[in-house]
Amino acid sequence: MKVCIAEKPSVAKDIAAVIGAGQRRDGYYEGNGYQVTWTFGHFCTLKEPHDYTDRWKSWRLEDLPMIPSSFGIKLIDNAGALKQFGVIETLVRNCEEVINCGDAGQEGELIQRWVLLKAKCTVPVKRLWISSLTEQAIREGFDKLREAGQYDNLYAAGSARAIGDWLLGMNATRLFTKKFGGGKAVLSIGRVQTPTLALIVQRQKEIDAFVSEEYWELRTVYRDTEFTATIDRIRNVEKANKGLAYLQQHDFEITAFEKKEGKEGNPRLFDLTSLQVEANKKYGYSAEDTLKHIQNLYEKKFVTYPRVDTTYLSEDLHPKVEGILRELTYYSQYTAPLLANLPIPKSKNVFDDKKVTDHHAIIPTGVLPGHISQDEKRIYDLITRRFIAVFYPECKVSNTTVLGVVGQVEFKATGKQILEPGWRELYVNEKDAKKEGEEEKVMPIFEVGERGPHEPRVHQGKTTPPKAYTEATLLRAMETAGKQVEDEEMRELMKDNGIGRPSTRANIIETLFKRKYIEKKKKNVHATQTGIDLIDTIQNELLKSAELTGNWERKLRLIEKGEYAMDTFKQELIEMVVQLTHEVKNERTRSITIAEEAPAVPEKEEKPKKERKPREPKEEISIEALHCPKCKDQLLKKGKTAYGCSNFQVCGFKIPFEFLGKTLTEKHIFDLLSKGKTAKIKGLQIPGSPDPIDARLVMNGDFNFEVG
């Protein structure tokens, strides 16, 4: 028997249907020589400090740094997960081969490897590696199963990332909390979140320190065309008025006229970050919302694997493009010209094996969507229009530059006219078809030497502060380690040095919001006083440097390629943590402003020579911050009767507000979702039982609730 392990029940169901495992069992499907089971995402996690030694239960400076001699993993404390792991463990113990059907990426590899490690798997393991969940993709994937050993480096990189985050996060958070938190709140420090916060704080300080200054420019209109003087901005109005008087004494004369035809290259296909940027700019979606919508579209088979960092397609996809275009019947007005001029060109700007790593760019699968939300329709439309647009002709434009002079003052005007829209036809009704601030300006034909009267004026303006980050510009800053990069080619080259990975950046931003280090005002992201104080408190530049964090990310990618040793990376972080701990312990203690509702410090210092059980960290009850235990989507209030999965139509998970005659409190629901069980509830009315009973509610392996 071969055991297939998927990352979600829904994916397991799709795989089982394709390979003929049609019989539903408790926790798996069976048939045709296969057993198909699943996890619910992370079943295992790195052990916590107190799992290594009781001494690390308490948060004490003298115990830092915490460096385990070796890192171990453990199962998460969730009743449903524990039951399902038991199913996996039994199946793995009795099978002849395991097929790892986890998410085809670094995180998916780590999740599955840890589960197999915990289950003490000793049989051969194969890897299913696919970029979409269509029936055809699954069949092709099973026809070309790969050896698990091909992905050892990917697993090593995932392990190195997890261990690095543990070493820095656990130690630095305790270190700064005990040194500077004043016993009031946890000061959370992270390998990725802290440099990201530092970027926002730096921009905030630039905005706060900015002093606006007035300036004046000389402008004039000649033959219905506005020209601007090329001299430096004028800093006082008297000088500007003198300049105006001077201009009024002279005619305008054309000194140069140049009209050049050019081309605007096609947009690139989407990777996850560029999709999140576009969705934020166009619809105001957060990075996390966009990731949720695209993940849903992927699981419904409408688009390819989303957690990618490339804008290219592999060359073997070229023969399939025509078929995908033919299936996109809703977009036939745009696909018809392409299908009438076959074959589709095989441009290196689109197809390049050297630019594709684990997966290619995000594209539609050709399966037309049905029964999807308005938000998912918008994301699908962005992806599909972009996919079609890359195969269109380039946009042809005419760029005009006109130079003139009034007396001794030189003037300039520029304009652009679209001659042939090319790929822009797909965005003809889009407000954002043009770049921000760009307007098409058709200019008259000028002759060098012509002259005549004009209408000069003084334009008054004010200097503006740097723009606050939006989620779109923050994602770009994370991608380029804080550097301002507009050029697509240069941005592509810098991706190896970005902060975080495309799949984790949304979560990092959300974490900063939840910890009240940043806040959103309209579309703009601002640092709170707590966030500013935290960054000011951190004197060690390594913790705050986007560039250095980007360098760590580059090393993690090198580990993926087998070009850097995991142990070397781990040792570098250990040395950094040891040095950081020594420096901070010897720093002068400073106070820090704590935002309301910030996480409380887990416990007070233990008094010496007294043995007492340390207090556990106080839990914050925030149901909306939790996710569906069945499919990991967002949990939402479903009317006035229940909490349910945001993907309820597919997933079906919900928790009623009232159960067995008792109204469930937020604490009950929170405990069910986070721990798999509640504390004892008094007066539960069991059907068929004459008297109420006192008992716990427990979530079983099928995500239903029972008395335990």
Name the residue type at position 670. F
How many residues would you count in the chain?
708
Distance CA 129, CA 591 (A): 51
SS3 82: helix
685 HSE (CA, 13 A, CB side): 6
| Token couple for 474 | 């923050």
Strands 654-656 and 658-659: unpaired
Residue 305 is a catalytic residue: yes
Rounded CA gap, 690 and 708, in Å? 18
- In angstroms, what CA-CA distances link 130 with 144, 264, 354, 382, 504? 10, 34, 19, 23, 21
Question: Could you give the angle at the alpha carbon of 209 between the alpha carbons of 205 and 214, nearest 5°?
Answer: 140
Q: CA-to-CA distance for 255 and 222, rounded, in angstroms?
A: 13
Residue 125 in tokens: 């393991």
Measured CA to CA in angstroms, residue 451 lies from 254, 408, 409 at distances of: 6, 14, 14
Count other Cβ atoms within 10 Å, centred on residue 53. 11
Q: Which residues contact residue 596 at a Cβ distance below 8 angstroms, ignoring those fewer than 6 apart?
A: 516
Query: Helices 106-118 and 152-180: crossing angle, nearest 10°?
Result: 90
Q: What does the DSSP 8-state code read for residue 564?
A: S
φ, ψ for residue 220, nearest 5 deg: -155, 155
Nearest to 42 by CA among 99, 15, 90, 81: 81
Amino acid code (one letter) for 311: T
**H/E segment holding residue 472:** helix 471-479
Q: Taking the alpha carbons of 325, 304, 512, 674 in that order, is the dihedral positive or negative? A: positive
Q: In 3D, which of 158, 146, 152, 108 has the Cα closest to residue 557? A: 158
Residue 358 tokens read as 């684990």
Closest CA to 141 of 130, 132, 125: 130
Collect all residues with Cβ–Cβ distance below 8 Å to 490 and sequence separation of at least 6: none
Of 28, 222, 285, 305, catalytic? 305
* Of 156, 106, 124, the residue nearest 2 (C-alpha): 124
C-alpha distances out from residue 407 to 93, 247, 248, 497, 609, Å:
91, 7, 10, 52, 89
Query: Strand runs (DSSP E) across 191-265, as ranges?
Result: 214-222, 225-229, 252-264
CA 208, CA 473: separation in Å to the nearest integer? 19
Q: Tell me the two tokens of residue 556.
A: 């993690």
Catalytic residues: 305
